[in-house]
Amino acid sequence: MSYCLNPACPSPQNITHAEICRACGSKLLLRKRYRVLDALGQGGFGATFLAHDESLPGEPSCVIKQLRPATTVAQVLQMARELFEREARTLGKIGNHPQVPRLLDYFEDNQQFYLVQEYISGLTLQQEVKGSGPLSEAGVKQFLSEILPVMQYIHSQQVIHRDIKPANLIRREQDRKLVLIDFGAVKNQVNQAASSSEQTALTAYAIGTPGFAPPEQMAMRPVYASDLYALGVTCIYLLTGKSPKDLDYNPTTGEMLWQKHVHISPHFTDVLKKMLEVSVRHRYQSAEEVLRALDLEPYLDTLAQGLTTGKATPQRQPGGRFNTGDLSAPTYSSSPSAGTSTSERLAMAIKARRARLEANDPQTGGGIHSRALPGTGYTTTLKNSDATAGSKGKLPAKLDAVSVLNYYTKGRRDFASQDLSLLNLQRVNLSGAIFHQAKLNKTNLQGADLSNADFGRASLTGAILKEANLGRAYFSTANLEGADLRGADLSFAYLNHANLRGANLCGANLTGAKITEEQLAQAKTNWATVLPSGKRGFW
């Protein structure tokens, strides 16, 4: 089918290869290359259409947005044109991000203004929630882990979206990533005072969606934190399936009364409360602050960098839709269930941090051989010099951190039964070392390379092992009570019979690790914990 873009056309639908509209006589091939197939949506200032670009091989799909103000008032027409041009400039500026549609073309034709965008195949979060129901706490956190770095990026470009809502988030069918759409309401001159005419026009059409927009945005004073408020409202919808208009508000403070409708942890409740603060000064000020509050700090850099590379080529899929959002009327929706891409990205983030740490660690020479750990099938990697290092003199009863590193650099790996409690050994390389029955209570080993190390029967109560590389380490019957293992790489580690009571495994990578359900039940895990199966979430 060919679709006529003449706003006054009484019957815009035509046969597939028609050149001239049979109803009004308008040309159907826009700019001699774009053939419009169907209407997708109508907003306050523009209408959007699905089209094919016949000038390119394969005639790829694209989205055409036509400026169509809902009024003929001169003042509003001028504002509509300015916003349309602003959207084009914004997409041209930030459209190189893989989760923002690319701007393909922008032009005037027959006194009509057009914007051509990348086509995104998939369902909006609104459509997904309506089809699948509300999400769990873990599902909403997964949603935040993916969209917050996108917001971090657009804010770094001095852009405030001003219309964050489920209908403006599409789960791209090709790679399951979220794509943020509809930049028609953006503000890219932050804190600039608005004129009285701008207030009048924007108040009527483009301040965002009622219920999602915070008070300062409704008062024409949006800031970056305004997008975080709208994101918080989106989270409430994802958890409850209720749109803002269906929730009560405190008549004195204006706060949304949502807590009685959700069943989430106290910590996540506190995060959402701060995102939804009516007073902007008490709200989170940046996407990075929210990521930190969600205990995603170990992955901030890698998430942000990973989401700005590797743009996928869009393809049209049957039933796929591109939703432009509606600036004149509120729409509501939610987020999908967890996919594997975010889990893989978190695991990759852990590995990337490990690699950066290893690049700064001291390197030692010598050949390598392995010592078998009885009854496990695991081995501990040792330098050739270790075969004799253990018998070359007795170690002092108490070692300090410098002594440990000196002995290790000289080839010694056997620190069995040593008291190494309270030492500061951050980011050191002690891979393959033997700490059998050693005391490492409250020892700071954050970011250390302890891969293939032997901690059998060792005491590590309260030890700081955050972000440490513990891949294939041996912990049989070790005491890890209260240890901080957040973000640690425990892939293929042997943890059977280890005491994990109160150990913090939030964000840890346990892929392939030998560990029981009972042990994990005693530890603290969260939605970012990669379980032995390779899946992410609570046990």
Binding site: which residues?
A: 65
CA distance 309 to 388: 49
514: left (phi over 0), alpha (psi -120 to 50) or beta: beta
| φ/ψ of residue 283, rounded to 5 | -90, 160
Smallest Cα–Cα separation from 95: which of 147, 17, 159?
159
Q: Specify the amino acid at residue 179.
A: V
User: Which helix (DSSP H) or strand (DSSP E) does residue 382 occupy?
Assistant: strand 379-383
> DSSP string of 498-535?
-B-TT-B-TT-B-TT-B--HHHHHHSB--TT-B-TTS-
State the Cα–Cα distance between residues 111 and 75, nearest whole angstrom: 18
Q: Which residues are catalytic?
A: 163
Largest CA distance in the chain: 98
Helix (H) or strand (E) holding 50: strand 46-53
Structural contact between residues 237 and 245, judged by C-beta atoms closer than 8 angstroms: no
Which run of H or E residues covers position 178?
strand 178-180
Look up residue 9 and give its amino acid: C
Q: Which helix (H) or strand (E) holds 197?
A: helix 196-205
Measured in Å, how far apart are the chain's first and last C-alpha atoms? 51
For residue 420, give the nearest of 393, 443, 446 by alpha carbon.
443
Q: Residues 6 or more apart from 439 whose CB is under 8 A from it?
A: 418, 419, 420, 421, 458, 459
Beta strand 29-30 with 34-42 is antiparallel
Cα–Cα distance, 459 to 524 (Å, whole number)? 19
Look up residue 140 and give its two tokens.
Answer: 């909403």
Helix (H/G/I), strand (E/B), else coil: 13? strand
Three-state SS sequence of 67-125: ECCCCCCHHHHHHHHHHHHHHHHHHHHHCCCCCCCCEEEEEEECCEEEEEEECCCEEEH
Task: Tokens for 64, please give them.
Answer: 């055409």
- Residues 6 or more apart whose Cβ sits within 8 Å of residue 518: none
